[in-house]
Amino acid sequence: MMMRICLLAEGAYPYVTGGVSSWIQSLMTQMPEHEFIIFSISAKDYQGAVRYPAPANLLEVRDIQLGTFLTDKIIPGKRYNISEEEKEAFLSIISGGKETNWPLLFDLIVSDRIDSILNFLASKDFFDIVQTLCRERFIHVPFTDMFWAIRSMVLPLFLCIHQKMPEADLYHSVSTGYAGVLGALGKHQYNKPFLLTEHGIYTREREEEIIKASWIKGYFKDIWIDYFYNLSNCAYEYADEVTSLFERSREIQVEIGCKREKTSVIPNGIDVNRFKPENRSRKLGIHIGAVVRVVPIKDIKTMLQSFALVQEALPSAQFYMIGPYDEDEDYYTECLELVESLNLKNILFTGEANVMDYLSFLDVLVLSSISEGQPLVILEGLAMGIPYVTTDVGSCSELIMGPSDAFGQAGSVVPVMHFHRLAKEIIALARDENLRLVYGENGRKRVQELYTLPLMVNRYESRYERWGQAVWQESVFN
């Protein structure tokens, strides 16, 4: 049965390369029998620069570029005849406590009554709502800051909801947050199934960001964090099924409010046929690489420090940083400065590159991220039979150590930011070719058995069919 699937993603496909985008691309190419619409939410206005070729079954990429709305003309001081219940529903997304009446809120924002979100945020009704909130709940919070905080919080959410939702047979959000709420909206508006896949734990990621953010002051951090939990709960509440990439992430979903019976695990998969370890050719010396974007979350600096230690032990070692470095120019500059001060000699920042060229000769792969979901780069490295040294984040240890299968170790796992341990493990692998071969073989087998593209695609496809059927039956029998 052909279905039209609406994929909802934040700030990714088709403009940003990375795990989620590749995942979306392979899902579409592997399910030619289904049609896809992509609803892509981003803050910036991406001019052109599409990074993925559109498959034939991709009907439409609908962009919501939030920044572009901000230049619209605003008419302040309007009245929208907001009912008590609607006001209540709005209040509850900020103040928590009571369950949010999402259906009412969706209907309000989608309706013709709200002519523009910016006008609404400049309306008397909006002010009244903030005033009520501060009178009843946030009595001691600085009012002006609260007013602006709430404007900032709901602006992207309401802008997203205010867009017309494309009609589809199934809505599939690739994260909670705004994309999750939009999935819920799709289900609400068209009464179609809603599937939620979390690659990481969105709420936790936001929480970490907010705690670090210098522009949010003290008490407001809690309000912001609660707000994002609330958005996630909306998605969990509405979703028919919630999948995660690995067990640990599923546990967190349950912990933060998703019903256990909705959850399941669908690991990522890669096209193993593309990876041919037999084509690998050893190069002279020892070659250590990392397939990463040069951004802070990958903790490149820790990696560089460990490389310095490796260089001390193995002066001939060569290092490769494979991936784009133009995303965070400042961070890249800092990294180059660190290279300088650590006196790292044989290191190459390749920029965007064909990874396969490097996988053909690298001896050891490294990942030092602070946070990860289930990195495709690990799967790819393992598929090429290259051992990995990674930090213990996301599903890295599941992939490397394989606690629930019999394939054995495929590398080593070290604590986050621990560059001594990282270096020690790299050195151990670099010095022992035999160990590398054993680990590489273990990893290759694990990926071939458990993390292949057909497996992943089948699992999603079965979900699509199951929920498509359920709705179909429901509509037939009603």
Give the interface with another protein as residue ranges (CB under 8 A).
10-11, 41-44, 66, 70-71, 74, 76-77, 118, 121-124, 126-127, 131, 134-135, 138-145, 147-148, 151-152, 155-156, 175, 177-178, 205-206, 209-210, 213, 215
* The length of the chain, given as a count of residues: 478
Task: Pick the closer one to another protein by CB: 240 or 372.
Answer: 372
Per DSSP bridges, beta strands 388-391 and 35-42 are unpaired
Task: Pick the closer one to another protein by CB: 338 or 370.
Answer: 370
Helix (H) or strand (E) holding 291: strand 287-291
Cα–Cα distance between 158 and 47 in angstroms, integer? 23
String of DSSP letters for 302-347 = HHHHHHHHHHHH-TT-EEEEEB---SSHHHHHHHHHHHHHHT--SE
Q: Minimal distance in Å, beta carbon 97 to another protein?
A: 19
Per DSSP bridges, beta strands 35-42 and 58-65 are parallel
Q: Minimal distance in Å, beta carbon 314 to another protein?
A: 38
Nearest in space to 271 (alpha carbons), one of 410, 448, 119: 448
Q: Minimal distance in Å, beta carbon 305 to another protein?
A: 28
Task: Pick the closer one to another protein by CB: 177 or 402.
Answer: 177
Nearest in space to 9 (alpha carbons), one of 233, 220, 173: 173
CA angle 430, 436, 438 (to 5 degrees): 160
What is the SS3 assignment for 348? strand
Task: Pick the closer one to another protein by CB: 244 or 306.
Answer: 244
Q: Minimal distance in Å, beta carbon 176 to another protein?
A: 11
Task: Pick the closer one to another protein by CB: 1 or 43.
Answer: 43
Amino acid identity of residue 118, one-letter, is: L
CA angle 260, 262, 265 (to 5 degrees): 85
Q: Minimal distance in Å, beta carbon 135 to another protein?
A: 6
Q: Minimal distance in Å, beta carbon 10 to another protein?
A: 5
Q: Minimal distance in Å, beta carbon 370 to another protein?
A: 15
Cα–Cα distance between 360 and 385 in angstroms, integer? 10
The label of the residue with tokens 């969706």 reads 106
Task: Pick the closer one to another protein by CB: 121 or 413.
Answer: 121
396 touches 368 (CB < 8 A) = no
Task: Pick the closer one to another protein by CB: 70 or 470.
Answer: 70
Q: Minimal distance in Å, beta carbon 204 to another protein?
A: 12
The label of the residue with tokens 């920029």 reads 351
Task: Pick the closer one to another protein by CB: 139 or 406.
Answer: 139
265 touches 245 (CB < 8 A) = yes
Task: Pick the closer one to another protein by CB: 138 or 190.
Answer: 138
User: For residue 476, how many C-alpha atoms fall within 13 Å in the half-sphere facing its CB?
Assistant: 6
Q: Minimal distance in Å, beta carbon 66 to another protein?
A: 6
Before 14, cis peptide (omega within 30)? yes
Task: Pick the closer one to another protein by CB: 206 or 301.
Answer: 206
Q: Minimal distance in Å, beta carbon 206 to another protein?
A: 6
Backbone angles phi, psi at 169, to 5 degrees: -85, -20
59 touches 105 (CB < 8 A) = no
What is the SS3 assignment for 290? strand
